Amino acid sequence: MLQPLPIPAQATASDRSGGVRPTPWWLDVMLVLFVGAIAFGVARAAARWSAPLSPNVRIDTSISLLPLYAGLSTLRMAVAYVVSLVFSLVYARAAAASKTAERIMLPVLDILQSIPILSFMPGVVLALAAAFPGRTVGLELAAIILIFTSQAWNLAFSFHQSLATIPRELSEAADVYRLGIWRRFTRLELPFGAIALIQNSMMSWAGGWFFLMASEQFVLGANNLRLPGLGSYLAAAADARDTRAIVWGIVALVTVIVALDQVLWRPLVAWSDKFKFEQSGGDASESWMLDLLRNSSLVAWLRDHTVVPIERSLDRPREPRIAERASRVVPRWLRVLLGMFAGLAAAALVIWGGLAAFHAVSVLSGKTWWTIFVATLATFGRTLAALIIATAWTVPFGVAVGMSPTWSRRLQPVVQVIASIPATALFSVLLLILLELPGGLNIAAIALMVLGTQWYILFNVIAGAMAIPSDLKEAAGMYGLSGWRRWKVLIIPAIFPYLVTGLITATGGAWNASIVSEYVIFAGHKISTTGLGALIAEAADAQNFSLLLASTLVMAAVVILGNRLVWRKLYRIAESRYRLE
């Protein structure tokens, strides 16, 4: 019988193996200095946020400023990631709580994923700039929100997929032990989804770097509002055709990515090995940083005196008493009334928004709608081609990396670096080559869409391959499974839920990437091809809000329709047929 997922041990300093040599004291001192430096940098960045807003900021491309720009961009990414993670955990947990909530919340998530960043960026920037007049904090919040939109959706889909595929015996065991909401979340749901969450977190960071150039510079009328950071640095270097600055900017970006991999992601990947659903032990991932933290006397003291007491306090079974107290304070009839009122308010808001949107697009002629239809077909073809190309190489490569701790340790940092380099920063170089090929911008657009979306599939496939229990791999070896039969019996069923999640997020990402791939400014000239992304970009440039709204709604409708007709059905198959039981 399969055992429940391992629960993180609340170890004390005395629990550590005596055979492990403790960390030298000077490494603990360096750890304290490192944390202090981060706290100082955050405080300095917070002071910048409250500074007066300066229109038409000039980004200095001096190499000496790159450490400052790298720190500011990393802080924005970190804040956006924390918000994305909290949102994803809460949203996915609420959607999985009931089928009724799931039927409403998953389509909403599809809609949010499919709305292009260019369509709502001006509104977000104007709203936050007006909320904090004359202060930089409004632009900082706008940048964080825009980065959030490139990080959150795949995390939410991933965690919901994990919740939907929890083995029934583990859910039944949680019911038998009467675990409340909090203990069930920390003892079952979060551990089961940890591997996929960590892999998608790395994908979220890569997606955040991809959209960093767009999120750190805003053009509003005559004002060119920029925030100092790596994204705006690379954009300024590209505008100035400063190859030296572009190279140094990419070097700084790669340095940040490698440093984060070594001190954050690699330790998390090695730590998540304990959450594999298996009986026999397999090859474990390694991390020098995780070993240092595990053997650190300072970290052990902090864990014993802060983390462990907080965990014990939160683990106390107080949820029934809270629920009972809430039911006495708020009568059931009042809760039902409040729920009905909230539902009516939401329905009224949807109706009002629908009528306003209909009024805005009703001015468009039949010829314009035909143009939108043709453009949609063209972008659909490019999106389909990009997904086929991306899937063809990411599935075998991701399985090879995920099933081998050695190759995972060697190649994952390389994959993160390549995935995190903004393709938009290199697109001008790619265009010099691709525009000379047959097909011109059509081929270039597909290439950029592949560059922007293949990582969603790859990181999810790696997560699925890493989550395959070692006892299943050993059983496949004992039965002599190899070649296609091994893929059919073991690998494809094991990675199928993760692959579907990757394809869902990659589809939305491909449609969004069409905006920057079908309409480009190169050598001072605008180059475009027939497509819905080009139509949205042209409408935004011309401030044709009716066409912009119509094109955005069509793109959202196509993504949602594809999810409902194709990906959601595959999602149900993954839930019912390809879960570990």
Q: What is the spatial distance between Cα 96 and Cα 414, in angstroms, rounded to a whole number?
A: 35
Q: What is the spatial distance between Cα 113 and Cα 91, in angstroms, rounded to a whole number?
A: 14
Task: For residue 206, give the DSSP letter.
Answer: H
**Do 88 and 156 touch, CB atoms closer than 8 A?**
yes
Does a structural domain hold residue 12? no
Does a structural domain hold residue 18? no
- Per-residue pLDDT 10s for the chain (581 aa) are 344 444 444 444 334 444 455 667 777 788 888 888 888 888 878 777 777 777 667 788 888 889 989 999 999 999 999 999 999 999 999 988 888 788 788 878 877 777 776 666 767 777 787 778 777 888 888 888 888 988 888 899 889 988 988 888 888 888 888 887 888 898 889 998 888 898 889 888 877 877 777 778 776 656 667 888 888 888 788 777 788 888 898 888 888 888 888 888 888 888 888 887 665 555 566 778 888 888 888 888 888 878 778 777 766 655 444 444 544 555 677 767 777 887 788 788 878 878 888 888 888 888 999 999 999 999 999 999 999 999 999 999 999 988 887 787 778 777 777 776 666 556 656 666 666 666 667 777 888 788 778 888 998 898 888 888 878 888 888 888 888 888 988 898 889 988 988 888 888 888 877 877 787 765 556 777 888 888 888 887 777 888 888 888 888 888 888 878 888 788 788 777 777 66
Beta pairing partners, 519: 528
Q: How many domains does the chain have?
A: 1
| Alpha helices in 261-294, H assignment, sequence order | 266-271, 288-294
Q: For CA atoms 447, 451, 454, 456, give the dihedral sign.
A: negative
Does a structural domain hold residue 258? yes
**CA distances for 366 relative to 216, 299, 371, angstroms:** 38, 67, 9
Q: What is the pLDDT of residue 373?
A: 93
Does a structural domain hold residue 253? yes
pTM of the complete model: 0.77
- Domain of residue 237, residue span: 50-276+363-577
**Do 423 and 446 touch, CB atoms closer than 8 A?**
no
Length, in residues, of the chain: 581
Does a structural domain hold residue 271? yes
CB atoms within 10 A of CB 106: 22
Does a structural domain hold residue 288? no
> What DSSP string runs through 347-412?
HHHHHHHHHHHHHHHTTS-HHHHHHHHHHHHHHHHHHHHHHHHHHHHHHHHHHHHHT-HHHHHHHH
Chain centroid to CA 329: 39
Does a structural domain hold residue 167? yes
CATH number of domain containing 259? 1.10.3720.10
**Do 77 and 205 touch, CB atoms closer than 8 A?**
yes
Look up tokens 């290439």; give the residue: 447
Does a structural domain hold residue 230? yes
